[in-house]
């Protein structure tokens, strides 16, 4: 609980004091920097979450926005979404694997597809300047 109130640099400094504090801080970071902690609300089963994590690993996709911020800021937000970005060459693979993880598509019209789970934002196909 003390580490929850500390800045990252303070935890690092404490971890340098002795082997016992190094081990305590290592266990603390292993717990709070666990991606499953912030991803769990988006999935109904552990299998779906693991499939999603595999998709991230296999395609080089990244999670950004408030979900990523929750992980690194060591906090939790109530109403957050899951923003995923993937390189165009991995687009089809990522979509297929996201379907396996429980995401589904909603066609709004012929020119726009939305990939969502729950109240997530639309899958952004292309970003232009």
Q: Grade residue 108 by pLDDT with cuts at 50, 70 and 90.
A: low
123 pLDDT exceeds 60?
no
Per the CB < 8 A criterion, the answer to whether 65 and 81 are in contact is yes
Chain centroid offset of residue 77 CA: 13
Mean pLDDT computed over 101-119: 55
- Same domain? For 15 and 50 the reply is no
Range among 14-18, 30-34, 102-106 with highest mean pLDDT value: 14-18
Pair (43, 99) in one structural domain: yes
Range of the structural domain that residue 25 is part of: 1-32
* Cα 52 from Cα 46, distance rounded (Å): 10
| Residues 15 and 73 both lie in one domain | no
pLDDT bin (cut points 50, 70, 90) of residue 107 is low
Collapse the DSSP code of 62 into the 3-class scheme (helix H, G, I; strand E, B; otherwise coil) and give the result. Answer: strand
Confidence of residue 17 (pLDDT cuts 50, 70, 90): very high
Q: Tell me: do 18 and 45 sit in the same domain.
A: no
CA distances in angstroms from 66 to 27, 36, 63, 128, listed in the order given? 24, 15, 9, 22
Q: Are residues 84 and 103 in the same domain?
A: yes
Domain count, the chain: 2
Spell out the residues 6+ positions from residue 46 whose beta carbon is closer than 8 angstroms to its own: none
């Amino acid at each position: 609980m003390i580490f929850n109130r500390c800045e990252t640099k303070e935890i690092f400094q404490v971890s340098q004091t002795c082997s016992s504090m190094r081990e305590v801080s290592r266990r603390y970071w292993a717990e709070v920097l666990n991606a499953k902690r912030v991803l769990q609300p988006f999935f109904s089963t552990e299998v779906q979450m693991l499939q999603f994590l595999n998709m991230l690993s296999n395609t080089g996709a990244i999670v950004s926005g408030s979900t990523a911020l929750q992980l690194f800021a060591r906090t939790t937000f109530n109403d957050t979404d899951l923003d995923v970005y993937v390189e165009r060459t991995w687009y089809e693979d990522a979509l297929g694997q996201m379907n396996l993880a429980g995401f589904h598509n909603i066609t709004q019209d012929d020119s726009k597809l939305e990939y969502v789970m729950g109240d997530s934002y639309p899958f952004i196909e292309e970003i232009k300047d």
